[in-house]
Amino acid sequence: MTLLTLYRRLVLLALGLTAFVVVFGAYVRLSDAGLGCPDWPGCYGKLSPAHAADQILDAHEADPHGPVSLPKAWKEMIHRYLAAGLGLIIVAIALLAGRLRRDPQVAPLVAWLLVGVVVFQGLLGKWTVTLLLKPAIVTAHLLGGLTTLALLAWLALRAVGVDRLQAAGAGGIAPRLYIAARTALVLLFVQIALGGWTSTNYAALACTDFPTCHGSLWPDADYANAFHVVRELGMTADGELLSNSALTAIHWSHRVGALLIGALLLVLGATLMRRRGTEQLGVALVAALVLQLSLGIANVWLSLPLGLAAAHNAGAALLVALMVAINYRLAATPARTRQRLVALAG
């Protein structure tokens, strides 16, 4: 096996594992197991819940409805084991990328950037536990996972030799389409941040009807307290309990954001479907968008069943991967295209 083949396989393995870790992490949080082991990196200072069974059982007996139990501890620790394994694979990818730095299918700078993201992601995982599920930390942890996924998707596309389209003209890309795809990717991350904020503040069922919220298209909402970043879970910045109207503001903002970014992605998908070379990506984007919107609506109508809620996170990961693939395909780099982009930006 050549080093390039090993590098390619590790990138694809890491991509698949990252997608699983992101979805499994959402499952752990949604099943109220995020504090199943209240310390980090071990469980009550031990390597596994089996070694800490006595402490876990004592904590569960003291508070049977609390966050600590043996099943929850195993969920949390399995997530940590998977994340640690992923981190080691990513370090190996970066080391191989350094060895293969002259190969056009390898991007050493991106690989080492990914290592930095994963190190910070590990710190966010620690703070998620030690700072008791602060919404800002948990939301940042979700975004870090999806950033890892996006960078690995980019590395995978390059590693397997996916072609980019030619410069503008003769069936190539139009600069406006390139800019629209980049903008859509950025706004998709903003929308995912809103979704993470909704989930981590337990506001997913603040509105239980659809398409209205509390029977209104303009529900009573407290936006002033909804988006304070530095605060405890369930509290305002002043230490008061977060009101239902603040939770409504969080939920409704996510819905409005879904409407706006959904419209943009739909137009982008339809445009790609009409262009030679991007038809399949356009179809995939529209299909993934419809699926994600359907999952979001179903979560409201069915009162957030665990499986559908985790699937909604998987849908977000799929959209991120697709948008990275679209941007990669559209990222033609000849000088003429760069000059036109600069002219448009100016």
How many Cβ atoms are within 10 Å of 346's Cβ, its own excluded?
5
Domain boundary among 119, 139, 162: 162
d(CA 79, CA 123): 15
| 200 in the same domain as 62 | no
Q: Binning pLDDT at 50, 70 and 90, where does residue 332 land? A: low
Q: Are residues 197 and 147 in the same domain?
A: no
Whether the link from the prior residue into 305 is cis, omega within 30° of 0, is no
Q: What's the pLDDT tens digit per position in 20-57?
A: 999 999 999 999 999 999 999 999 999 999 999 999 99
- In this structure, are 25 and 94 located in the same domain? yes
Tell which of 101, 132, 162 closes a domain.
162
Residues 253, 329: one domain?
Answer: yes
Does 142 share its domain with 64? yes
End-to-end CA distance of the chain: 48
**Same domain for 154 and 128:** yes
Q: Identify the pLDDT of residue 168.
A: 46
Answer for the pair 154, 27: CB distance below 8 angstroms, yes or no. no
> What are the residues whose beta carbons fall under 8 Å from the beta carbon of 282, sequence distance 6 or more?
268, 269, 270, 271, 272, 273, 274, 275
One domain for residues 248 and 156:
no
Structure tokens at 111: 């690989």
Among residues 142, 114, 105, the alpha carbon closest in space to that of 328 is found at: 105
What are the tens digits of pLDDT across the range 157-171? 999 988 777 544 435
Q: Is 147 helix (H, G, I), strand (E, B) or coil?
A: helix
Residue 342 has pLDDT above 50, yes or no: no
Residues 6+ apart with CB under 8 A from 61: none
The domain in which residue 314 lies consists of 165-346
Model pTM score: 0.92
331 shares its domain with 276: yes
Q: State how many domains the chain has.
A: 2
* pLDDT bucket at 340, cuts 50 / 70 / 90: very low
61 in active site: no
- Based on the domain organization, do 110 and 202 belong to the same domain? no
Report percent pLDDT > 70 for the chain.
93
Task: Indicate the residue among 162, 194, 216 that finishes a domain.
Answer: 162
Same-domain check for residues 310 and 336: yes
236: Cα separation from own chain's centroid:
25
pLDDT tens string 189-235: 999 999 999 999 999 999 999 999 999 999 999 999 999 998 999 99
Catalytic: which of 61, 76, 240, 279? 76
